[in-house]
Amino acid sequence: MSRIFSRIAGTGSYLPARVMTNAELAQRLDTSDQWIEERTGIRQRHIAEQSQASSELALAASRRAIEASGLQAQAIDLIIVATSTPDYVFPSTACLLQAKLGIANCPAFDVQAVCSGFVYGLATADNFIRAGAAKHALVVGAEVFSRILDWNDRGTCVLFGDGAGAVVLSACDRPGIHASVLRADGRHAGILSVPGNLCGGKIVGSPFLQMQGNQVFKLAVKVLDEVAHEVLAAAGMQVAEVDWLIPHQANVRIMEATAKKLGLPRDKLVVTVDRHGNTSAASVPLALDESVRAGKIRPGQRVMLQGVGGGFTWGATLVTM
């Protein structure tokens, strides 16, 4: 009996039309374009309209991924949406997306691992396919982080943007996803969080993102290096076999430090944070789709995808396109 693997059959993404530049932020905050870009690499980000929820962004990205895969929407038999900004408390954004795509009966659920969410979702879908429980999975990262930002806090609001990215993962007789490694350490929950909730119709705690930037930076660089080596070992591969590195697009300095520690040249690092900002769970699939559609990432090339985010969560997946 032949083994079942999974491969990325199609990619898609969506960015809201509105672009917010650093210069616009500098008009109402004690900051400047130079200050933001020097510390983060970010020049601009996209901001969703008030009427655009995560499921709407996810829908546009999903349609493009499904079209690229050559499948019909009805062929999708698993939907996983990674998001920290769901449309509602419930039902899940995945179920709302399922209805908007005109699909019924397949499993649909959300994954909450913050900025590692897409990597977590991809690994989960891969295991479904390897087990024979799904043939064509839709994995989406979709965020409207602009809704949970304190726009008077220059330490956080300048970092984030909105967007969505998606892939269709299909069963195949040869490996596409070689290995995934997922990690978490809840002891670090306090360094990056939105410590609020609803109770009796009122917000308890804070509804805004809070971050201890220096601690996040140090931990992110450490764990991204560790998990890169772990996933390479799990796949039986060497760093030299990696054609492209797509880390979570949070801060260009974190990304460059990760590539340097791995011994990967800067030209193998995919960077979109300068134009997208940090789009949390959407950042990796957004960067992947942009690179695929630009002809930068080509069939047969090996790509390492990495996530790191609140929780504290992190993970990596090694893929042949």
Long-range contacts of 267-270 (CB under 8 A, 24+ apart): 268/242, 268/243, 268/244, 269/244, 269/245, 270/244, 270/245, 270/246, 270/296, 270/297
Q: Give the helix, strand, coil percentages of the chain, each rounded to 5.
A: 40, 30, 30
278 labelled catalytic: yes
Name residue 23's amino acid: A
Catalytic residue (one of 115, 136, 188, 251): 115
234: left (phi over 0), alpha (psi -120 to 50) or beta: alpha
Q: Is residue 312 reached through a cis peptide bond, with omega within 30 degrees of 0 on the bond before it?
A: yes
Q: Which residue has the tokens 């609001």?
A: 157
Eight-class DSSP state of 218? H
Task: Tell me whether strands 162-172 and 136-144 are parallel, antiparallel or unpaired.
Answer: antiparallel
Q: Report in angstroms the alpha-carbon separations of 109 from 116, 181, 292, 309.
A: 16, 21, 27, 20
How far, rounded to the nearest angstrom, does the alpha carbon of residue 216 sit from its chain's CA centroid? 17
Query: Which region holds residue 302: left if phi is over 0, alpha if psi is between -120 and 50, else beta?
Result: beta
Q: How far is the C-alpha of 170 from the C-alpha of 126, rounded, in Å?
A: 9
CA distance 68 to 146: 29
Identified catalytic residue from 46, 251, 276, 278: 278
- 95, 248, 251, 276: which is the annotated catalytic residue? 248
Residue numbers annotated as active site: 115, 248, 278
